[in-house]
Each structure stands twice: as C-alpha cells, then as structure tokens.
Amino acid sequence: MYTLVQTAKLNGLDVLKYFKFLMRKVQLREPLDVIACLPWSREAQMECTLD
C-alpha cells in the first residue's frame, strides 16, 4: 500500500483519485489491463492528476 501511495505521488497524482480509479478498473469484471492501471499510464494521468 505504501508503495502505491508513494508511486502515485511521484507521478503527480492525487492519491485518493488514483485509488478510486483503480477500484473502478477492478470492478469492471473485464480482463484487467494492468498497463492502464500503472500511475504513469496516460489514462491514470488524465483522470488522477493533482488539480
């Protein structure tokens, strides 16, 4: 958990937004695109960047 928080911070993400983003991805019940869940992915950057 600590590593996820620190990696999100290092990539300029809002940690709470990033965790919500991850939970939405997991709940979709589709094959999980792990690459899209990484904090440096384009999708994560677009949805979770600090304001």
Q: Domain locations in the chain?
A: 2-48
pLDDT of residue 33: 84
Count of Cβ atoms closer than 10 Å to residue 21 Cβ: 22
- At position 4, the amino acid (one-letter code) is L
Residues β-bridged to residue 13: 49
pLDDT of residue 19: 97
pLDDT of residue 39: 95
Q: Which long-range contacts (CB under 8 A, 24 or more apart) does 28-37 make?
A: none
Residue ranges in the chain modelled with pLDDT below 50:
none
Structure tokens at 25: 């991805």
As a whole number of angstroms, the distance between CA 31 and CA 7 comes to 24
pTM above 0.85, yes or no: no
Q: How far is CA 38 from the centre of its chain?
A: 6
